Structure 1
Amino acid sequence: MKTADLRLAAPAAGCWAAAAVALAAPVGVSAGIAAGCVVGGLAAIGWSRSAGEFGRSVAVTAAAVCGVTAASTIVVLLRIIAVDEAPIVAVDGKPVVEVTVAGDPSFSIPGMMSLPVEVEAVRGARQRPVAATLLARSSMVDPLPGERYRVRARVRPPREGVADRLVAARLSAVGELEKIGEAPWWQTVAGRVRERLRDVAARALGERPAGLLPGLVLGDVSGLDQRTSDNFRSAGLTHLVAVSGSNLVLVCGTVILAVRMTGASARTVVAVGAVAIVGFVILVRPSDSVLRAAVMGSVGLVAGLGSRRSQALPALGTAVIVVILLWPQMAVAPGFALSVVATLGLVLWSVPIRRALVIRGMPEAPAMLLSMTLAAQILTTPLLIVLTDTANVLAVPANLLAIPVVGMAGLLGTAAAVVGALGSRYGPGGVLAEFLIRAAGPPTRWLIAVADRLGGPTWSSIEVPGWMTVFVLGGLIAAVLWWRNRTRSAGRRLHRG
Structure 2
Amino acid sequence: MNTSDLRLALPAAGCWAASAAALAAPIAVNVALAGVLAVVGCAVAAWGWRESESKREWAVTIAAACGVTAASAVAVTLRIVAVDAAPIRAAEGKPVVELEVTGDPKYLPHSQMLLPVKIRTLSGRNQRPVAAQLAATAGPVDPLPGERYRVRVRARPPKPGPSNRLSAARLSAVGELRLVRGPPWWQSVAGRVRERLRDISALSLPERAAGLLPGLVLGDTSGLDQETSDNFRAAGLSHLVAVSGSNFALVCGAVILGIRMTGASAKTVVVLGAFTIVGFVILVRPTDSVLRAAVMGSVGLAAGLGSRRAQALPALGTAVIIVVLLWPQMALAPGFALSVAATLGLVLWAVPIRRALVRRGLPEWLATLAAMTLAAQILTTPLLVLITDTVNVLAVPANLLAVPVVGMAGLLGTAAAVIGALGPRYGPGGVLAEFLIRAAGPPTRWLIVVADWLGAPGWASITIPAWFGFVLILVTGACWGIWHVRRVAGDDRPVVPVWHHGKGE
TM-score, normalised to structure 1's length? 0.95
Identity across the alignment (%): 69
State the alpha-carbon separation in 2 of the partners of residues 384 and 203 from structure 1. Answer: 37
Instruction: Give the letter aligned to residue 441 of structure 2.
Output: G
Paired residue for 2:275? 275
8 Å contact kept, 2:386–2:470: no
Q: State the distance in 1 between where 2:475 and 2:45 align.
A: 40
Larger CA deviation: 395-404 vs 48-57? 48-57
- Name the residue aligned to 2:456: 456
> 1:330-353 CA distances to partner (integer Å, 9 max, x unpaired)?
000111101001100000011111
Give yes or no for contact 1:131–1:167 (8 Å, CA) kept in 2. yes
Partners in 2 of 1:474 and 1:11 — Cα distance?
Answer: 20
Q: Unmatched 5+ residue regions in structure 1? A: 493-497
Judging changes above 3 Å, is the alpha-carbon distance between structure 1 residues 14 and 477 closer, same or farther for their aligned structure 2 residues?
Answer: closer
Give the deviation of 1:48 after TM superposition.
3.0
> Are 1:394 and 2:394 counterparts?
yes
Question: Partner residue of 1:301?
Answer: 301
* DSSP-derived class of the 1:107 partner: strand
Cα distance, 1:96–1:444 mapped onto 2, change above 3 Å: same
Please say if residues 356 and 484 of structure 1, whose CA atoms lie closer than 8 Å, have aligned partners that are also in contact.
no
Distance 1:479 1:37 in 2: 31
Contact 1:353 1:484 (C-alpha < 8 Å) held by counterparts: no
Superposed CA offset, 1:186-241 (max 9, x none): 11110000000000000101111010000000000011000000000000000000
Q: Which residue of 2 aligns with 1:227?
A: 227
For residues 92-107 of structure 1, the aligned pairs below 5 Å read 92-107=92-107
The one-letter code matched in structure 1 to 2:358 is V
After superposing the two structures, state which structure 1 stretch, 388-397 or 1-10, moved more. Answer: 1-10
1:138 is matched with which residue? 138
Residues 228, 354 of structure 1: CA spacing in aligned structure 2 closer, same or farther, 3 A cutoff?
Answer: same
- Are 1:292 and 2:289 counterparts? no
Quick one: distance in 2 between partners of 1:67 and 1:478?
A: 28
Summarize the Cα distance change of 1:368–1:491 in structure 2 as closer, same or farther, 3 Å threshold.
Answer: farther
Which whole-Å deviations, capped at 9, do the CAs of 1:130-180 have from their partners, x for residues lacking one? 000001112264200000000111111101111100000001111110000
Aligned residue for 2:145, secondary structure, equals: coil
User: 1:254 maps to which residue?
Assistant: 254
* Structure 2 Cα separation of the partners of residues 386 and 423 of structure 1: 48
- 2:52 counterpart residue number: 52
Distance of 1:6 and 1:489 partners within structure 2: 17
SS in 1 for 2:462: strand
Asked whether the 8 Å contact 2:420–2:429 carries over to 1, the reply is yes
The CA deviation at 1:44 is: 2.6
SS at match of 2:391: strand
Structure 2 equivalent of residue 360 of structure 1: 360
**Distance in 1 between residues matched to 2:273 and 2:314, nearest whole Å:** 20
Q: Give the secondary-structure state (helix, strand or coil) at the position aligned to 1:133.
A: strand
1:256 to partner: Cα distance: 0.7
In structure 2, the CA distance between the partners of 1:489 and 1:331, relative to structure 1 (3 Å rule), is closer
Matches within 5 A, 1:277-426: 277-426=277-426
- In structure 2, C-alpha distance between the alignment counterparts of 1:117 and 1:490, rounded to whole Å: 56
Q: Is the 8 A contact 2:120 2:128 kept in 1?
A: yes
The corresponding residue for 2:192 is: 192
Report what 1:447 is aligned to: 447
Distance 1:44 1:477 in 2: 27
- Please name the residue that 1:160 is paired with: 160
Matches of 1:410 and 1:240 in 2, distance apart? 10
Give the alignment's Cα RMSD to 1 decimal: 2.0
Q: Which amino acid aligns with 1:399?
A: N
Query: Which segment drifts farther, 304-313 or 437-446?
Result: 304-313
Aligned equivalents of 1:26, 1:2: Cα separation in 2:
39
Give yes or no for contact 1:353–1:483 (8 Å, CA) kept in 2. Answer: no
| Inter-partner Cα distance in structure 2 for 1:324 and 1:14 | 11
- The residue number in structure 2 matching 1:40 is 40
Q: What does the per-residue CA deviation read over 1:244-291, in whole Å, with 9 as the maximum and x for residues that have no partner?
A: 111111111111111111111110010010000000000001000000
Match of 1:178 in 2: 178
Question: CA-to-partner distance for each residue in 1:92-133, whole Å, 9 max, x for gaps?
Answer: 222111100001111244421110000011111111000000
Number of aligned residue pairs: 492
Counterpart AA for 2:267:
R
228-237 or 135-144: bigger deviation: 135-144
Stretches of structure 2 that go unaligned for 5 or more consecutive residues are 493-505
Which amino acid in structure 2 is aligned with residue 164 of structure 1? N
Distance 1:133 1:473, change over 3 A: same
Kindly state the Cα deviation for residue 490 of structure 1 after the two structures are TM-superposed.
Answer: 13
Taking a change above 3 Å as real, the CA distance of residues 482 and 83 of structure 1, as seen in their structure-2 partners, is closer
Task: Provide TM-score, normalisation by structure 2.
Answer: 0.94
**2:118 corresponds to which residue?**
118
Number of the residue aligned with 1:20: 20
Does residue 473 (structure 1) correspond to residue 470 (structure 2)? The answer is no
